[in-house]
Amino acid sequence: MSPAENIKTPCQKKPEHSTPRHIAVIMDGNGRWAKSRGQPRIMGHRKGAEAVRRIIRLCGDEGIEHLTLFAFSSENWQRPPREVKLLMELFISVLEKDIDALVENGVRLRIIGDLDRFGKRINSLIKKAEMRTACNDCMQLTIAANYGGRWDITQACRHLADKSSRGEIDPKNIDEELISSYLVSDGIPDPDLFIRTGGEKRISNFLIWQLAYCELYFTDILWPDFSKENFSDALQWFAGRERRFGKTSEQVSA
């Protein structure tokens, strides 16, 4: 099946009241998926890319506005050079081959992270892909690449301190909203539902500021196996959560 047929959808359904507006995902378990089949790790990442197409389609079907995927962390450079190289090649191939499908289906693409570390070729592909999808408004797909939550907060602090030292910002006016606007996720609402596959129960430096009030869902399913049914389970679990944002249950129901 071509990428265009795989990523089919958006703007089909108005979201239910209990549907998350923004889902953020740590796609863990590609390596184990491959190992359990006696295959090299990259095969797991390839299969993982198919699961990426699947979840984009499913989010579109559910009318979810934002999907953010953690594709490559600042720490992932420490993996064996061959795996890093193959992951970069996969990233390039997704940027080159899947963009038509995103354009056709009204998906806006944004890449967040410390992009300076990527070479000229990847940066130019990113720019091109973001520009081609800039007017799409059915759904936003954000891919975090060379991203780390602490890096993001640090770069925001650096910018704020710089502006403050030049007298452009009064430190008294620095509040949560202003800090959020200096994070690379500026303009994207905080995630409502976080999903981590692969059995680990941690957030691994992903969107640490933005996840403050997010509902956290962990599943043992390995990312390449994450199916429509697994996605429905996560949505159903989310629908049953009472989001109190620090209030009491009585206040929320009132």
Residue numbers at the binding site for ligand FPP (CB under 6 A): 27-32, 45, 48-49, 52, 69, 71, 76, 90-91, 94, 143, 198, 223
Q: 58 or 94: whose CB is closer to ligand FPP?
A: 94
Beta carbon nearer to ligand FPP, 72 or 182: 72
Q: In angstroms, what is the minimal distance from the CB of 197 to ligand FPP?
A: 9
CB 249 within 8 A of CB 242: yes
233 is catalytic: no
CB of 29 to ligand FPP, least distance (A): 4
28 is catalytic: yes
E strand or H helix that includes residue 143: strand 139-147
| Residue partners of 48: CB distance under 8 A and separation at least 6 | 27, 30, 33, 223, 224
**Minimal distance in Å, beta carbon 90 to ligand FPP?**
5
The count of other CB atoms within 10 Å of the CB of residue 4 is 16
Looking at residue 24, what DSSP letter applies? Answer: E
User: Smallest distance, Å, CB 1 to ligand FPP?
Assistant: 17
Largest CA distance in the chain: 60
| Cβ closest to ligand FPP, residue 99 vs residue 156 | 99
Catalytic residue among 6, 30, 61, 76: 76
How many helices and strands (H and E) does the chain possess?
10, 6
Catalytically active residues are 28, 76
